[in-house]
Structure 1
Amino acid sequence: MRAIVQDAYGTADLLEARDIDRPVPRDDEVLVEVRAAGVDPSVWHLMTGRPLVARVALGLRKPKNPVRGWDGAGRVEAVGAKVTEFKPGDEVFGNCEGSFAEFARAKARRLVLKPRHLTFEQAAALPVSGMTALQALKGTARPQPGDQVLVIGASGGVGSFAVQLATMYGAVVTGVCGPTNTDFVRSLGATHVLDHTQEDVTAGPHRYDVIVDCAGLRPVPLLRRVLAPRGTLVMVGGEGGSAFFGGMGREIRASLLSPFIGQNLRNLISLPRHEDLLTLKDLAEQGKITPAIDRTYPLAEAADAVRHLEKGHPRGKLVVII
């Protein structure tokens, strides 16, 4: 089968389209014929091995799994001996091991049936970014109707879902994005949109009940200036920072400070959860959230998709089509 493989940590130049053996599912796994795969920052972290501390789990000298990709949607090709939830031909989406490939393995609990009206491309855009936004809001911040919610990085993969979810919960949403994406963020449901090139959101007089920082670059003391005295800050991702810890240093310092102040400072490590996939499926089928896709790439051009992600400012999600 054809797959996007890397043999060492580094840049997107090391991503190579190559023929490799088709994976064989274990007893509790499903083999998925992948139709589309989402591209998100976790792909970049796996590719570069950054921050360096993450290599304890990813592989010290090179990636344990050489095939890139995590989000996936497609049809079930085969099931393991202990899998009873799916059968060949079922259309599914969720978290796969190496979804930049014609076939990928996945734990049965990390898949659910694809929302009926979504395309494979839309379904592939849901899992990682959708679950991250859901866990940031429903699982951590829990905004109430009328709460003021600030989403920094509102036009990206996680941010575009966070805006939709916060709006669904009845919050008044302010989105922060670049100048070319203001209309897009407003279309997601944001009441107010700030262009970060023209306005410093941390310098204004407004106070927010919830801040979801998807950009991961602003110092916590600046974010606390615009956080309500009893508000919640959720830091998503670990961009920037040192080569060893990345943005985790900022998040660790915030976690140590949080118990001693009125504000709730939380760093989010999103984990795949079956119940969250089911929630995303239901919300998509009810039309309460819609995956926003910036552009798609054929499998052979997956490296270009990662390069586009590295440049920043995608409008929603990037998707690789297999």
Structure 2
Amino acid sequence: MNSTSIAIVGFGKIARDQHVPALHDNAAFTLDAVASRNASLEGVAHFRDIQTLLDERPDIQAISLCAPPQVRYSQARAAIAAGKHVMLEKPPGATLSEVEDLRAQAEHAGVTLFATWHSRYAAGVAQAREWLNERRVRSVNVQWKEDVRRWHPGQEWIWEAGGLGVFDPGINALSIITAILPEPFFLTQGELAVPANRQGPIAATLAFRDAHDADIRAEFDWRQTGPQTWDIHIETDAGPLSLTQGGSRLTIGDEVMMEGGDAEYPGLYARFAELIANGESDVDVAPLRHVADAFLLGQRVSVDAFHE
């Protein structure tokens, strides 16, 4: 089977650290180009922007969009109009409305659109979903805390409107719990801590309920130094389940059921290849919808200014 010629648009840290190695190990794709204003990849054709790429390399079949969400809509629409399959880094867009429009455009053009949530491909997530599907959830406690200076050095876009602030990592936790919890859940209250000199929150505390009144709480914080925390603890009628280390370690009761390595981005590209082969799209906006709800319902609290 011939491989799909793919280009990465937006060549920042996540593209270099995760997308390139995942593509290198996936025979379904051949990385043939990069489009980026400020970065290039040795041995791969480079273009300054996506339109130049589309004009000069009509042979490219798929585009992996890794640019910030504020500019992703116009890039995705151009790629779809050119007949390319499109994979969207998370979050899939700056607004729900633009992602829905991209879904419609992709369907009309007959191409694949894949809105990705890499944390759903962590090692323990699938087994956690299967186990929880037959249990009644009583409570959920999410602790997603990390050091923004370590993971996003100098990235001003994350603090601007549409950049999501602490929800940039927090949406990873939301992507997991929307995938594994057997019932839909809804925000009841929230508090967003916003630095005096920024638009996006640096921390957030959220409370949700599901149809059975389970207590679901999430704490996101970008001010944690030292060891980083990406943990989800769930109490059920059959005992506790924990997904820790970003979802790579699954514990049920006192037994460690799964402890795997980093398979998230390889999983994404395997899924993208499957979607292309089957002529399908996968555009789940549930995690982004919860973030939008937090900005709608959450109370904003001003905190100390943040400086790099």
- TM-score normalised by length of structure 1: 0.35
TM-score by length of structure 2 reads 0.36
